[in-house]
Amino acid sequence: MTGTAPSPTAVKDDPEYAANLKRATYASSIGSALEYFDFALYGLSTALIFNVLFFPQDDPAMATVAAFATYGVGFLARPFGGLFFGRLGDRLGRKWVLVITIMLMGGASTAIGLLPTYEAIGIWAPILLVTMRLLQGFGAGAEQAGSTVLMAEYAPVRRRGFFSSLPFIGIQAGTLLAALVFSLITLLPEEALLTWGWRVPFLASFLLIIVALFIRMRLKETPTFVQLEKHEQIAEKPVKEIFTKGLPGVIVGIGLRMAENGGSYMFQALALAFFVSVVGPDTDKSLLTWGVTFGSLLGIFTVPLTGAISDRVGRRTVYRFGAVFMLLYAVPAWWLISLGSYPIAIAAVAVGIGIAVNTMLGPQCAMLPELFGNRHRYLGVAMARELSAVLAGGLAGVLGAYLIAVSDGNWVLLAIYMVVLALITTASTFLVPETLRRDLTRMDDAIKVSSSESGDDVDASTLSIRTIQW
């Protein structure tokens, strides 16, 4: 196998490459589906089940805040998982790290379905829940970064945006599946839901683990990592590299993710908690989750579409459109949800997820791997993704639930929060160079420290950290 991915024409003429590209797509997609099935399911359960079953009910509002805090704990663990497994991914290869992470992440999710409640073991219930959430986040910290890197390195150069986005259909499928399953279990009588019904989808994660393991064990290493090994260019200290030469790329990557990641979790989990605060405890929970369902269904089309468009007009243009769309959509979206109408709230959430979030996700699939050089690409993508997940997605639940509690359900504060996230991402699209069709065997980052600081030559495709070239 050559060190770089062949052209689209060559794919048809190389059966081995075509077969490996197909395996990589399946391996990445199923892993993404499992990750987002677990995370979306956990998010949906946080505001309706975990707050009741795993925390004392003296103050229901604070119980919800505490439940969202455990939701945020998973995000805190993700950077450490990304750091640990990202380092291994750049030294040992992409394949085996993805095998380990799927087992860790899926195993923790399955174990959540076996946990006793607060009524049964008291304070140990939330402690065990937090422990499983930490393990889940630790594994997830490298799972999505690995899938992203895997597909970008396998994809044909001129269609990298499209092929890199295909595994992210797994994100939509996982979110869609979680919303559908949750909608079904909430149809159960409340007593059945709170005793055994909520456990079923978590236990079902085990099936996805088996399928993902089967596919990933048959996967071959990516062409660019083979090239790295062939020329003995594997980084001895990837962690040091990523926090020195690679730091500008990580910082800009975090900025790019703020609106996409934060907006995603605000629409998925926080919108449900907010709607309950507006309508009251008699909210029909199964109806509102259809907003996430329709949004994810829409995303199955918008993610690969925007990825393909970015192959033609560039990553930055498409990404900036999505960020500006969310910026303009934030205020009307939360106002519409605050009206307390089921159809309007469902539509608002669906558009937020399906268009605002996923228009950024499409080009991001190729853009993040293109930002980093071959020696520390896995670690760079992992750090950009997971640090932003803490700052955006993790805080979205905790801070949002707190804002709802202290403001008596004031939608304006939530809208302002989303506007800030969108402004950060919009600004970040002006700080990143165009990465379209960048050679992934290159050692240098697309964004890097100026030559006087790094000792490297800065060419036309790089961005000086001091002199910004638009």
Check residue 470 and give its pLDDT.
29
Is the pLDDT at 6 greater than 70? The verdict is no
Which range in 2-16, 211-225, 356-370 is most confidently predicted, on average pLDDT?
Answer: 356-370
Quote the tokens at residue 118.
């607060």
Confidence class of residue 93 from pLDDT cuts 50, 70 and 90? Answer: confident
What is the per-residue DSSP string for 8-23? HHHHHH-HHHHHHHHH
Give the chain's mean pLDDT.
Answer: 82
Least confident of 54-68, 288-302, 379-393: 54-68
Quote the tokens at residue 37.
């099935």
What structural domains does the chain harbor?
Answer: 8-461 (1.20.1250.20)
Report yes or no: 447 and 463 within 8 Å, Cβ to Cβ: yes
Check residue 425 and give its pLDDT.
96
pLDDT tens digit sequence for 430-447: 999 999 989 888 888 898
Confidence class of residue 348 from pLDDT cuts 50, 70 and 90? Answer: very high
Rounded Cα–Cα distance for residues 444 and 259 (Å): 27
Determine the average pLDDT of the residues in 162-176. Answer: 82
- Residue whose C-alpha is closest to residue 173's, from 379, 2, 33, 357: 33
Rounded Cα–Cα distance for residues 63 and 40 (Å): 20
Least confident of 37-46, 302-311, 361-370: 37-46
Provide the CA 425 distance to its chain's centre, in angstroms. Answer: 15
Confidence class of residue 230 from pLDDT cuts 50, 70 and 90? Answer: low
Check residue 227 and give its pLDDT.
75
How many percent of the chain have pLDDT more than 70?
89
Check residue 259 and give its pLDDT.
94
Q: Dihedral of CA 236/1/441/149: which sign?
A: negative
Whether the pTM exceeds 0.85: the reply is no
